[in-house]
Amino acid sequence: MGSPGPAREAAGAGATADAGLPFFRYHPDPVATGSVRASTRTCACCERARGWVYTATFYTAQEIDGPLCPWCIADGSAAARFTGEFTDSYGLDGVSRPVLHEVTRRTPGFSAWQDPHWLTHCEDAAAFPGEAGYRELARHPEASPSCGPPCVWTAGTTKTSWSTS
């Protein structure tokens, strides 16, 4: 799968589009999320210094000498050359093989305080816009109707759940 086109890229890519980076359908602004940052380092895959490097996790059994660039992620060459994935496939049940490969092999992953997993909806992967905490979700009540104010986390002996009590 390629880029969905210039209009969509310009509409949703923010800092990434401004920097001339490739568009990632499922992670539209990896600069804003911190998964890609400016750097003078050389990409371990294409051996070019392109001004940007990937900073999050890459799962591979191989030793990689240096960072990867967003272009080698976008075209799949980094995942192919190093037999790796940028995101675990956990949570991607029910998506097509092309979507699975686009998310795991051609989309920058992201760092999280727990093992991240990619969300899905209607047999497609969701786009990752960045972290969302209570403040962000409170501005978008339609995003999580079960987590209205005040949202309280409770941990029991057998169950962990969110409640609105």
Q: Is the pLDDT of residue 145 over 70?
A: no
Tell me, what's the pLDDT at 30?
A: 96
Residue 130 banded pLDDT, cuts 50, 70, 90: confident
> Could you give the 3-state DSSP secondary structure of residue 154?
strand
Mean pLDDT of the chain: 80
Higher pLDDT, 126 or 7: 126
CA distance 20 to 156: 48
Q: How confident is the model at residue 50 (pLDDT cuts 50, 70, 90)?
A: very high
Q: Are the C-beta atoms of residues 122 and 98 closer than 8 Å to each other? A: no
Report the pLDDT value the prediction gives residue 47, as an integer from 0 to 100. Answer: 97
Query: Please, what's the largest Cα pairwise distance for the chain?
Result: 55
The rounded percent of the chain whose pLDDT value lies above 70 is 73
Q: What pLDDT, on the 0 to 100 scale, is given for residue 118? A: 86
At residue 77, does pLDDT exceed 90? yes
* Partners of 152 in the β-ladder: 163
Give me the residues paired with residue 59 across strands: 85
Q: Which residue has the higher pLDDT, 142 or 6?
A: 142
CA 64 to chain centre: 21
**What's the full length of the chain, in residues?**
165
Which residue in this structure is represented by tokens 């949570």? 91
With cut-offs at 50, 70 and 90, classify the pLDDT of residue 17: low
| pLDDT confidence band for 136 (50 / 70 / 90) | confident
Number of Cβ atoms within 10 Å of the Cβ of 27: 28
